[in-house]
Amino acid sequence: MSSQTRSGSGGGGTASASRTCQFKLVLLGESSVGKSSLVLRFVKGQFHEFQESTIGAAFLTQTVQIDDTTVKFEIWDTAGQERYHSLAPMYYRGAQAAIVVYDISNKESFHKAQTWVKELQRQASPNIVIALAGNKLDLANKRAVSYEEAKQYADEHSLLFMETSAKTAANVMDIFTSIAKKLPKSDVNEQASRQSQNRSGVNVGGANQNQQGTSGCACK
């Protein structure tokens, strides 16, 4: 036990030297590539071999500590099937970050990931931080998408890129942490004093939906 990272949503009652930033993050990608599993690993440290498909969407929160800043992710996990594609904008609207997921053992899912990236770059917030996750790294023996190919694509489109495995937890924490590091944590003294008053159960997240079509975080 060398170090312990303590995290929390900050705000309200407790006196804390660190500040808290809040970001909306959305997961997109083809059906069954492991979006929910990535979130479940990140948020609860669990993995279910037979994670049921997501109907509609799920919302989870998780915090990571980056230096003296606590970054709170508000994570929207979406249904992957094409049939429900039309609902996606509701979730990526106002998102400051997105993880586009594909399955490294499924070439088609990589193509689908590229169309998601395109859509995000065209329609989501202009400064959205996009990460590409090649999931199911544990199935490397069935690999259909090479690391180099995906990496090259990611570089060309200025995406963060990692191969991950929700099953073994490889790189899961890292991809979220990398995103947290890349997100702009603007100076927030004024905002902080104003917004910290709000925390008495008032919905900060919901309010952000409207306000944050652009960049920047809801820092407290």
Which residues form the interface with another protein (CB under 8 A)? 1-16, 31-32, 43-46, 49-53, 55-64, 74, 79-81, 83-84, 86-87, 90, 168-171, 173, 197-207, 209-210
| DSSP secondary structure of 82-147 | GGGGGGHHHHHTT-SEEEEEEETT-HHHHHHHHHHHHHHHHHS-TT-EEEEEEE-GGGGGG--S-H
Residue 146 CB, shortest distance to another protein, in Å, is: 19
Q: Please say which residue, 121 or 177, places its beta carbon nearer to another protein.
A: 177
The closest alpha carbon to 37, from 127, 103, 110, 109, belongs to: 103
Q: Please say which residue, 12 or 191, places its beta carbon nearer to another protein.
A: 12
Residue 33 CB, shortest distance to another protein, in Å, is: 10
Biggest distance spanned by C-alpha atoms of the chain: 53
Between CA 67 and CA 48 the distance in angstroms is 32
The first and second tokens of residue 60, run together, are: 């989870």
Q: Please say which residue, 8 or 215, places its beta carbon nearer to another protein.
A: 8
Contact 117, 159 (CB under 8 A): yes
Q: Please say which residue, 158 or 202, places its beta carbon nearer to another protein.
A: 202
Residue 69 CB, shortest distance to another protein, in Å, is: 13
Residue 182 CB, shortest distance to another protein, in Å, is: 20
